[in-house]
Amino acid sequence: MLFRLNQAAQVHVLAARGDQAAFAEIVQEHQAMVFSIALHFLRNRAVAEELAQDVFLHLFRNLNEIQSPGHLTNWLRRVTSHRCIDQSRQQKYRPKVGLEAAPEPSMVPRTADPFLTEMLDRLIRTLPEKPRMVIILRYQEDMEPTEIAETMNIPVGTVKSILHRALALLRGKRERERKEARA
Amino acid sequence: MNDFETQLRQNLKRKQPPMGFTQKVLLQTATPKRHLRRWILATVAAVFSLAGGLELYRYQQGQFAKQQVMLALRITSEKSHVAQMKIDQINQRRILQ
C-alpha cells in the first residue's frame, strides 16, 4: 500500500516536470472515473468523451497546483462535476440527443434486470443538475456526504438533504412506473 | 444498504472511455495548436497596432511641425510688411524735405 502510494507520488512529480509517460499513466488511472461521471451525468458518449479530454488538458496545464495523488483525485472529481453542470446548463439552450439516450444492451450486465436498469437510467436523467451529480458521486464514486460537499462546494447538510430527497423522488417515480407498467 | 441503492450502484458503475482516449489527450498536450494559433494571432495584431500607432504619431508630429512653420512664415511676412511700410514712409518724408 505504502509502495503504491510512493509510486503514485513519484508519477505525479514526474508528470509535473513534463514527463509525457508519467502523465499518460495518470490519465489511464483516472480516465474511467472522469469519463463515467461525465457519461452518467450527460448521457451522451461523445460529449462525455470531449468533456473528459478537456478536464485532462486542464489538469496538464495545472499540474503544478496538485500537491498529492489524493489531491489529484479530488481535483479531477471537482473539475469534472463543475464542468458537467455547466455543460448541462448550456445544453438546455441547444439540446442534443445522444445514442446513449437509448438503452445499451451490450453494456448491461447479464445478471441485472434490463427493464429496471433502463428505467433507473431514465429516472436519474430526470433529476435536476445538483441532485443528479450528488447521486452519481455517492453511488459511482462511493463518496461520503462530507466529501461530496467539499467537491461540489455546498454545505454537508444540503448534500444530505439533496441525497434524501433525490432517493425518495427516484423511489416514488420507480413505483409509479412499475404500477403503470403492470396496469 | 437496501436493494434500491444496490441497483443504483450497479447502474452507476464506472465505464471505460472509448479506445485511444489516452492517446487523444496526449496528442492535444503535445501540440497545443489552438493556443499557438491564438498566440500568433495576438502577436501579429500587436505588431500591426504598434506600427499603426507609430505611423499616426509620426503623421501628427509632421502636421504640428507644418503648422509651426506656417505660423513662423506668417509672422515673418507680417513683420517684413510693417518694416517695408516704415521704410516707405521714411523715404517719402526724405523726398518731401
B1 inside 8 A of chain A by CB = no
Side chain identity at B46, as an amino acid letter? A
- pLDDT, one tens digit per residue, over B17-43 is 999 999 999 998 876 556 677 888 999
Q: Do B17 and A32 touch (CB under 8 A)?
A: yes
**At B52, is the pLDDT very low, low, confident or very high (cuts 50, 70, 90)?**
very high
In this complex, which of A24, A52, A112 lies closest to B17 when CB atoms are compared?
A52
Smallest CA–CA distance from A32 into chain B, residue: B16
What does the DSSP 8-state code read for residue B1? -
pLDDT exceeds 60 at position B46: yes
Structural domain harbouring A65: 1-104
- pLDDT, one tens digit per residue, over B54-63 is 999 999 999 9
Question: Is the CB of residue B16 less than 8 Å from the CB of residue A143?
Answer: no
Task: Please give the grid coordinates belonging to residue A137.
Answer: 458521486
Question: What average pLDDT does range A169-179 have in this prediction?
Answer: 85
**Residues A68 and A133 occupy one common structural domain:** no
**Residues A155 and A96 occupy one common structural domain:** no
Burial of A17 (0-12, 13-18, 19+ CB in 10 A): exposed
Q: Return the pLDDT at A42.
A: 92
E strand or H helix at A65, and its extent?
none
B34 inside 8 A of chain A by CB = no
Number of other residues whose CB lies within 10 A of the CB of residue A49: 18
Gap from A177 CA to chain B (nearest CA, Å): 15
pLDDT exceeds 80 at position A56: yes
CATH for A53: 1.10.1740.10
**Residues A78 and A164 occupy one common structural domain:** no
Q: Percent of chain B beyond pLDDT 90?
A: 73
Q: Return the pLDDT at B33.
A: 57
Question: What length does chain A have?
Answer: 183
Which positions in chain B touch A117 (Cβ < 8 Å)?
Answer: 7, 10-11
Question: What average pLDDT does range A66-78 have in this prediction?
Answer: 92
What does the DSSP 8-state code read for residue A154? S
CATH for A147: 1.10.10.10
**Residues A154 and A90 occupy one common structural domain:** no
State whether residue A129 is helix, strand or coil: helix
Q: Return the pLDDT at A119.
A: 83
Among A63, A88, A104, where does a domain finish? A104
**Residues A147 and A68 occupy one common structural domain:** no
Q: Which comes out higher in pLDDT, residue A30 or A21?
A: A30
Residue A108's contacts (CB-CB under 8 Å, 6 or more residues apart) are: A114, A117
**Residues A37 and A125 occupy one common structural domain:** no
